[in-house]
């Protein structure tokens, strides 16, 4: 699991909630963070880093120059080579459903770690993905169906995915400024249609209490009616994998704590117990998990016109067009105007011209209203769209 977990505490006072910001740490936990897997295709990847205190922000420091190997239940050992950012990889590994795999790590400081044995479970194909409207009408619930007929598989599943959604700027900008002069944008320079990629939040599903190992209507995502992802079109490349009970419990604990943090009913977060340990000191806190993986995937789309009225969320506020001051001498400037050279990253949406076509003023909006890339997206349509 690569997503960092931020823990927030709350205090209850006079019937209201105030966020508690932890004081600066006096000690660095400096725990080893492990995010690794071996998959059914014979590929392995292990990213090593170190934790940082709650009061600090930024990326986790990489744990470089480690010796990383994977050992099979048959006694074979396979080295992983370090790439950038302390990610250790290997390919062409001989794997099977009948073997187990153990991760071994020796850090540059000489500390030795190993994981519990893990295995690769057969994963069923995804039969269908669809959405329903939540009972309150405030969200859609994305659901999945899958039928696991393999008697040697597990009854626990993890789901994540790669999300992409299309959104539009509030205003169309047909012009760009070149030396403070508005000129037409080419098709490649349009900033009205955008797409954005996100990592889907993980979900876990268990069929352990069912008579058949069938996932029917398992909820893998809940998207609120005001969510920007529903403005135009939303897609998720859903990835399903069978997991063991230990990984299910680990992921379930991480997900629940992440969802509940800061709420009135949140539990006090405990340490997430993974499956990697210091050989010499089993009490040392190590973050993360090493897993075996077989992934099946399927792409899912939701179009805005498939949803009830009111879904998609409001457009940004304050997007009314404003005017530059006069561009030529002898013309009275509009009230509250601004010189064209001072509009910064704002974008031109219209030109007011005289009968001869000479521009007199430009109409502009703020970048977040007229340039969709300012909200983190890109303008090249994805190939699968």
Q: What is the pLDDT of residues 14-67, one digit of tens each?
A: 333 444 344 444 345 688 999 999 999 999 999 999 987 655 566 778 999 999
Amino acid 56: pLDDT:
59
Burial 152-175 (b: 16+ CB within 10 A, else e): ebbbbbbbbbebbbbbebbbbbbb
Q: 3-state class of 98 per DSSP? A: coil
pTM for the full model? 0.84
Q: What DSSP designation does 65 have?
A: S
Please give the structure tokens belonging to residue 76. 């074979």
CA 61 centroid distance within chain: 20
Confidence of residue 4 (pLDDT cuts 50, 70, 90): very low
Beta-bridged to residue 161, according to DSSP, are: 238
Q: What pLDDT is stored for residue 255 in this prediction?
A: 87
Q: For the sheet containing 322-323, what is the strand order?
A: 322-323, 359-365, 347-353
Structure tokens at 349: 């949406």
The count of other CB atoms within 10 Å of the CB of residue 26 is 6
Query: What is the dihedral sign for C-alpha 311, 194, 337, 350?
Result: negative
Cα-to-chain-centroid distance, residue 47 = 17
What pLDDT shows up at residue 159?
98
Residue whose tokens read 């700027």: 169
In terms of Cα–Cα distance, which of 200, 169, 184, 154 is closest to 294? 154
11 Cβ neighbours under 8 A, 6+ residues apart: 17, 18, 20
Mean pLDDT of 324-338: 94
Tell me what percent of the chain is helix, strand and coil, each rounded to the nearest 5: 10, 45, 45
Structure tokens at 310: 């009111």
Contacting residues for 181 by C-beta, under 8 A, at least 6 apart: none
Give residue 370's pLDDT band: very low, low, confident or very high (50, 70, 90). very high
149 has a pLDDT exceeding 60: yes
Are 103 and 286 spatial neighbours (Cβ–Cβ below 8 Å)?
no
Residues 6+ apart with CB under 8 A from 356: none
Alpha carbon 175 to its chain centroid, in Å, reads 33
């Amino acid at each position: 699991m690569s997503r960092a977990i931020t823990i927030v505490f709350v205090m209850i006072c006079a019937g209201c909630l105030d966020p508690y910001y932890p004081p600066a740490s006096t000690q660095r936990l400096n725990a080893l963070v492990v995010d690794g897997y071996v998959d059914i295709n014979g590929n392995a990847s292990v990213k090593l880093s170190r934790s940082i205190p709650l009061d600090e922000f930024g990326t986790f420091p990489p744990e470089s120059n480690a010796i990383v190997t994977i050992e099979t239940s048959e006694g074979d050992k396979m080295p992983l080579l370090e790439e950038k950012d302390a990610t250790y990889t290997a390919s062409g590994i001989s794997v099977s459903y009948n073997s187990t795999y153990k991760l071994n790590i020796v850090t540059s400081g000489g500390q030795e770690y190993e994981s519990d044995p893990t295995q690769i479970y057969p994963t069923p194909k995804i039969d269908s993905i669809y959405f329903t409207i939540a009972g309150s009408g405030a969200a859609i619930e994305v659901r999945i169906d899958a039928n696991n007929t393999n008697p040697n598989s597990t009854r626990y599943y993890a789901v994540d995915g790669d999300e992409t959604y299309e959104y539009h700027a509030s205003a169309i900008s047909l012009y760009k400024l070149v030396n403070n002069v508005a000129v037409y944008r080419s098709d490649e320079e349009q900033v009205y249609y955008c797409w954005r990629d996100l990592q889907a939040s993980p979900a876990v599903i268990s069929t352990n209490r069912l008579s058949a190992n069938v996932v029917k209507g398992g909820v893998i995502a809940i998207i609120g009616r005001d969510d920007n992802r529903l403005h135009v079109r939303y897609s998720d490349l859903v990835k399903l994998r069978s997991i063991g009970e230990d990984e299910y419990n680990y992921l379930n604990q991480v997900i629940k704590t992440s969802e509940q943090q800061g709420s009135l009913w949140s539990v006090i977060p405990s340490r997430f117990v993974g499956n990697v340990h210091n050989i010499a000191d089993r009490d040392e806190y190590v973050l993360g998990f090493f897993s075996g993986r077989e992934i099946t995937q399927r792409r899912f789309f939701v179009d805005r016109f498939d949803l009830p009225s009111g879904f998609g969320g409001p457009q940004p506020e304050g997007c009314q067009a404003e005017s530059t001051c006069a561009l030529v001498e002898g013309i009275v400037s509009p009230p509250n105007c601004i010189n064209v050279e001072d509009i910064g990253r704002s974008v031109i949406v219209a030109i007011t011209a005289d009968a001869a076509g000479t521009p007199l003023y430009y109409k502009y909006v703020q970048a977040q209203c007229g340039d969709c890339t300012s909200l983190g997206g890109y303008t090249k349509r994805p190939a699968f769209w």
